[in-house]
A = this chain, B = another copy of it.
Amino acid sequence: MPTTEQSQGLSRRSFLARVGVTGGAGAMFATMGALGLAPSAESATKVPFQPPQPSDFRLRGRGAAKVLILGGGVAGLAAAYELGKAGYDCTVLEARDRVGGRNLTMRGGDKLEEIDGATQRAKFSDGQYMNMGPARIAQWMTTMDYCRELGVPLEVFANANAEALIYNESAGMTAPVKWRTAKADVYGYISELLAKATDQGALDQQLSATDKERLLSFLSDFGAIGPKSSGYAYTGTGRRGYTVDPGAGDQAGTVLGPPPSLSQVLASGVGRSFSFELGYSQAMMMFQPVGGMDAIPRALAKAVGNGRIKTGAKVTKITNLPNGVEVQYVLNGKTKVAKADYAIATLPPHVMAKIPHNLGASVQAALEYPTVSSAGKLGIEYTRRWWELEDNIYGGITNTDLDISVMWYPSYGYHGKRGVLLAYYNSGRNAQTYDPLTHAQRLERALNAGAKIHGAKFKKDIAASLSIAWRRQPFIEGAWVNWPSRGAEYRLLNQPQGRVYFCGDWLSYEIAWMHGSFESARKVVTELHQRVLKS
């Protein structure tokens, strides 16, 4: 069969190429549909990347160069990994005691130190872990390709769950509501309203008679609303949930209800949470490495070769030279100097800005230009998975206007004895509230907030807890950065300055995602390699 198919495919493709020329893309698209050769909808083209390879040098009489990589986070490791494929002599200098940067997974026994010296020791049980930084991957992201290439096994990250909760205290809610209930009510009422307006002719300028008919049919299904005779009334359905589940015999189930009024639903603000799930980077399905997100930097480091990575190496000076780069760093209390043909600096810009260099005032100004964001997380290991046992919540996110922002139920270890629940993941002003607190204070505050949503059980059966405030993490000092504008500063740092390249998620359009780090690494590796080939 493959042979026949392939030859058919070829002749179809030549035909389609002709249609494309004469009829334009639209004509081609329609024709493809008619031929039964429709494309797989619209998966985006990834930015093409060809890793450097040894054979690239063969015809040019060049050899791979020596490269110093400052920072062993995802961007630095990815750059070393890709350059290593072609035989580049890379050395990674990482100031912290492990690679990964913000891709940090903590397990029992791990130490977490803050900038002022406050230290926590993770006391999670065996098999339990907490992803302190990145924790989810969208299907379209380059991160997925690296997981495939590196053999990092994946499982689903539950980024949305109809059984999780929404609780907006400032909107006057006195109890949380399940996402499914909130959606049923909001979709129900907006469908009722739009059906009424449509039926009354209020949208006749926008809608033909056929449009109206189709719209009303859609709304009837989407909102589960009543017929025209009821005024298209939304009165609640099983989509809201049940107070007694459907069962056997005469147990038809008791639908949770009646729904609050339209006014109450609007006032509660529950609909504000809905757009989260629609985002290009947040829509399900999403994924995580089995056993912890640091499987990615671990796999990268292994591929790079641990002999090429120096941890505990704090860069203290960067000097661009006419024919190379000199980097001074401190390791085990001793100052050392490394020389190389090129350097790739992947430190966060605000951290780099504090390191002496000879790259000039505009580079310095550019490094100081982005603003730094706070973000924090606090994980609690419970000795029983009460969210599963009592609330039917298997993974997913509870959303609230309390300063905990969101609560994550673990996406691994379902039905296990214990689990690490993320009591908050917040950023901006909410994170700044937690940043200066001690861990004990953060925990107390998070428990009080969580108890407003889950009741007293939120404060019971606690085995361990751990919190991070990214602004207080040594050598990182922030969760991510924002560019007030992507102007001259952004463009400047996206070009090599002499023999120094800058690299990281902060030089991409997917800041705070590993995808941005990987894409930036690929860009820099490509540019550096082309320069070496031409030099």
Residues of A within 8 A of B (CB): 1-2, 5-6, 8-9, 12, 29-30, 32-34, 36-47, 139-140, 144, 147-148, 153-156, 158, 160-163, 165, 167, 173-178, 180-181, 183-184, 186-187, 190, 193-194, 196-198, 200, 202-203, 206-208, 210-211, 214-215, 218-219, 221-222, 224, 238-239, 241-254, 256, 262-263, 266-267, 269, 271-272, 274-275, 278-280, 283-285, 287, 387, 390-396, 411, 414-415, 448, 451-456, 459-462, 491, 494, 507-510, 516, 519-520, 522-524
Contact = CB atoms under 8 A, between A and B. Distances in A.
Contacts of A460: 1-2, 5-6
The 3 closest A-B pairs by CB, nearest first: A33-B174, A202-B202, A162-B283
A454 B144 CA distance: 21
A273 B177 CA distance: 25
Contact of A242 (B44, B211, B524): B44
30 contacts: A5-B459, A9-B456, A12-B456, A38-B175, A38-B176, A38-B455, A40-B455, A41-B177, A43-B392, A44-B256, A47-B247, A139-B161, A153-B415, A156-B156, A158-B284, A162-B285, A163-B285, A184-B278, A190-B190, A190-B194, A190-B219, A193-B198, A200-B202, A214-B266, A221-B275, A224-B278, A238-B280, A247-B509, A248-B522, A250-B491
Nearest to A200: B202
A174 B38 contact: yes
Given A37-B456, A248-B508, 12 more contacts: A2-B461, A33-B452, A38-B174, A38-B453, A144-B392, A156-B395, A211-B263, A247-B519, A248-B494, A248-B519, A250-B491, A251-B523
Contacts of A391: 40-41, 43
A36 B284 contact: no
A192 to B, nearest CB: 8
A293 B518 CA distance: 37
A161 B159 CA distance: 12
Nearest to A275: B221
B246 A509 contact: yes
Contacts of A161: 139, 284-285
A173 B33 contact: yes
A406 to B, nearest CB: 15
Nearest to A239: B278
Given A197-B197, A284-B162, A459-B1, A41 B175 contact: yes
Contact of A414 (B154, B186, B206): B154
Contacts of A38: 167, 174-176, 452-455
B202 A451 contact: no
Given A8-B456, A266-B214, A248 B284 contact: no
Contacts of A178: 41-43
B256 A42 contact: yes
Tallying the copies of this chain within the complex gives 2
B241 A42 contact: yes
Given A245-B140, A448-B36, A42 B280 contact: no
B507 A393 contact: no
Given A34-B174, A184-B278, A253 B41 contact: no
A393 B247 CA distance: 35
A522 B167 CA distance: 35
Given A33-B173, A47-B245, A415-B154, A218 B272 contact: yes
A461 to B, nearest CB: 8
Contacts of A239: 278-280, 283
A210 B262 CA distance: 12
Q: Dominant SS at the A interface?
A: mixed
A196 B206 contact: yes
A174 B394 contact: no
A289 to B, nearest CB: 11
A183 B282 CA distance: 14
Given A194-B190, A222-B271, A263-B211, A41 B176 contact: yes
Contacts of A43: 163, 178, 241, 390-392
Contacts of A144: 392, 394, 415
Most chain B CB atoms below 10 A, which of A30, A206, A280? A280
Given A285-B158, A392-B43, A222 B275 contact: yes
Contacts of A285: 158, 161-163, 394-396
**Which of A180, A181, A262, A491 has the largest number of chain B CB atoms within 10 A?**
A180
A193 B204 CA distance: 11
Nearest to A206: B193
Nearest to A13: B456
A154 to B, nearest CB: 5
Contacts of A9: 456
B246 A510 contact: yes
Contacts of A184: 278
Given A222-B275, A275-B222, A42 B181 contact: yes
A46 B241 CA distance: 12
Nearest to A190: B194
